[in-house]
């Protein structure tokens, strides 16, 4: 979980429970009365244990932040070279974990009169970022998952999207994204050369100001 998420919640008086594969207790120790649980959130039995221990130690669940994800360890490569095992693991961690956590926690929130769920996605599906197809697909699915949940749980649920409606935050994201593209330009050019067709063409259904950085990506990959 990004450091600013639990820090902000703790500052508002929340008791933080960190669930991770490694160093969960160490991370939780940074927050007052924090709880660290070693959990593989892609496994149904471990998610059930996580929820049971959390309720037992904290009395309930008021806020769930779904932020588990595989990204940094993934190699950028053409989709034809992604092993099925790696594809499935990305879907398990990035997507199935959200399904499992929400399925287990929503009944608890209903029973206690309410709660908040935050699902962390990415801007990559809107830009059509290449060479990380499993990651981008999983993040796009999170958007669909969240929208469907909001309808299924209505009228008791309100869906809020902050990313596209925060111009300052999006501008900062665009700046950092362009810096990353410049930093990895040689690597992206190498990947483009490895593509079977030898040429990359990106087609966008809409090019509004919100997603202009997608055009920047296309220009860089084409050598512009």
Q: Alpha-carbon torsion 10, 13, 19, 22, what sign?
A: positive
**60 close to 107: Cβ distance less than 8 angstroms:** no
Planar angle of CA 215, 218, 219, nearest 5 degrees:
90
What are the angstrom distances between the C-alpha of 130 and each of 123, 144, 205?
A: 13, 20, 16
Separation CA 93–CA 120 (nearest Å) = 13
Separation CA 33–CA 63 (nearest Å) = 16
Q: Alpha-carbon torsion 222, 126, 119, 87, what sign?
A: negative
Q: Which of 31, 71, 135, 177 is catalytic?
A: 135
Separation CA 169–CA 120 (nearest Å) = 15
- Note if 177 is an active site residue: no
- Please identify every residue annotated as catalytic: 135
């Amino acid at each position: 979980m990004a450091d600013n998420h639990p820090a902000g919640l703790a500052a508002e008086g929340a008791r933080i429970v960190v669930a991770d594969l490694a160093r969960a207790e160490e991370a939780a120790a940074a927050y007052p009365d924090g709880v660290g649980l070693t959990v593989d959130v892609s496994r149904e039995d471990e998610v059930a244990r996580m929820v049971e221990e959390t309720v037992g130690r904290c009395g309930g669940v008021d806020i769930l932040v779904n932020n588990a994800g595989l990204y940094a360890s993934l190699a950028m490569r053409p989709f034809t070279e992604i092993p099925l095992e790696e594809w499935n693991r990305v879907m398990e961690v990035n997507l199935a974990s959200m399904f499992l956590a929400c399925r287990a926690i929503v009944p608890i929130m209903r029973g206690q009169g309410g709660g908040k769920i935050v699902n962390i996605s990415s801007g990559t599906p809107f830009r059509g970022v290449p060479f990380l197809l499993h990651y981008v697909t999983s993040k796009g699915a999170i958007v669909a998952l969240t929208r469907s949940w909001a309808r299924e749980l209505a009228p008791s649920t309100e869906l809020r999207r902050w990313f596209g409606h925060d111009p300052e935050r999006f501008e900062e994201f665009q700046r950092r994204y362009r810096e990353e593209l410049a930093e990895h330009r040689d690597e992206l050019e190498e990947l483009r050369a490895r593509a079977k067709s030898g040429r990359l063409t990106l087609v966008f259904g809409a090019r509004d100001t919100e997603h202009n950085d997608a055009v920047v990506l296309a220009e860089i990959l084409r050598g512009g």
